[in-house]
Structure 1
Amino acid sequence: MVRHLIVFNTEASEEEVLAMFRQARAVLGQIPGVVGFELGKAVGDAPRYRWLLVVDFADESVIPLYRDHPVHQQFANQVFRPLAQDRLTTDFVRLYPEVP
């Protein structure tokens, strides 16, 4: 499994972030190999990033498919990037529990 993690800040309200997340699940969930979603909010008074969006991929082969998929490109350009201009994105491959 690969976890596509995006930590971000936004001026949008919590309700707007939740609406974006619902839309992300509905739209991006159509892309082959996308297997799950999570949304998190930071704990504490002054974290560097306030929000976390996780998109789970079945395996590493999904990374370029997802990145270049027109559904992702449209959602990212029209919905997510305007909402989350301050962001950091990284893909992580899962090692545990496979690591003995």
Structure 2
Amino acid sequence: MKKVFVLVFFGILACSTPKQKEQIVEASCGQCQFGLKSKMGCDLAIKIDDKAYFVEGAHIDDYGDAHDENIGFCNVVRKAKVTGTIENNTFKATYFEVIE
């Protein structure tokens, strides 16, 4: 009986944990490229289904100079592979990799 209880408990736990899926998204400066206004300065953001979200868990300068003409997030929109969740209108990244 104890084994059945343990199996049921872990089954419920596995079903209740939200699954994070890997996605390919547009990534750039939320203010300069995506028109977000809720923060001052330049901050990393992504677009999912044409809606932009600021990113927590990755920083705009982690991927080079944000103001570089060729690759800087303030000047270009790049592609990124991400995993995470949207909470309170912010993308909480558990994985963030620029791929383009």
* Alignment TM-score > 0.5, same fold: no
- Structure having the higher strand fraction is 2
Q: Pick the structure with more helix per residue.
A: 1
TM-score (normalizing by structure 2): 0.24
Bigger CA radius of gyration: 2
**What TM-score, normalized to structure 1?**
0.24
